[in-house]
Amino acid sequence: MKTVSFTVPPSYGGASLKGFLRSWAGCSARLLTAAKRIEGGLLCNGKPATARTVLKSGDCVSFSIAPSPCAVEPQAIPLSVVFEDESLLVVEKPSAMPVYPCPGHDRGSLANAVLGHLLARGEALEFHPVYRLDRDTTGLVVLGKNSFAASCLAGRVGKEYIALCSGYLSGEGMEKGCIGLLPGHSIQRCVRPDGQRAVTRWKSLRAAPDMSLLSFRLETGRTHQIRVHMAACGHPLLGDDLYGGPCGRIDRQALHCASVHFLHPVKKDVLFFRSPLPEDMARILQSG
């Protein structure tokens, strides 16, 4: 059983424990209900409390989180850890590594590697990625070490992606075509009027006649969003054979999650992490 603790700030003096946990702490209704069912699951200054307990500034409030172990097999796979504490893990995902095991790739996933890392540290075997990257997309992945941390960060991690796109693009722009499945396909997406809303903002960092380095910030999180939008506007990512990108210079889509920023779910301080371009993308830039 894991326990998360907070100190009540002056602005929440007089609030109920439930109000404080749901609002300031960001605890979901589901997790709060689960904590109430655990003996000693809600504490105030180390003593049993209820959802109606009235708090004072400076009180120490704690709630318990039921474990949710992951059934994926732990593997001793090298893992590039950028940040780690009792609540979070930020790692660098390489290319050719899916986030979860999948058909034809039942081992060697990020889940296998993270669970192997936690097993070696004697920690609970939980795997809660806040978002996913495609198998061949590289870069930063934020994971919660428990369901509370992951639920607090869901939809609240700001990300910058960097990609190499075909053709010349300068300045900045926005793509907002709705995205849905390509008719007759179960994986490939396309821009279609009856798809889900999708907004991609891009900025050119470097442009050449045959290739541009772009920075992306997403307002939505659709599957393959950057890849689909750039293919639709005539500038598919280098190496992206699924969406018509030229494949002579790199053997994967040239897409990298380069930075993330978010509010720590427990400490409430802002964290920012940046990842350098992977070697294959940097080599293309250096060669011009």
Q: Are 109 and 100 in contact (CB under 8 A)?
A: yes
User: Residue 244: phi, psi to the nearest 5?
Assistant: 85, 20
Instruction: Give the DSSP per-residue string, 145-182.
Output: SSHHHHHHHTT--EEEEEEEEES---SEEEE---EEEP
Joined tokens for residue 106: 């039942």
Q: Of these residues, 59, 134, 240, 280, which one is catalytic?
A: 134
Q: How far apart are CA 189 and CA 178, in angstroms?
A: 10
How many Cβ atoms are within 10 Å of 10's Cβ, its own excluded?
8
Residue 208 token pair: 């050449």
240 included as an active-site residue? no
Catalytic residues: 134
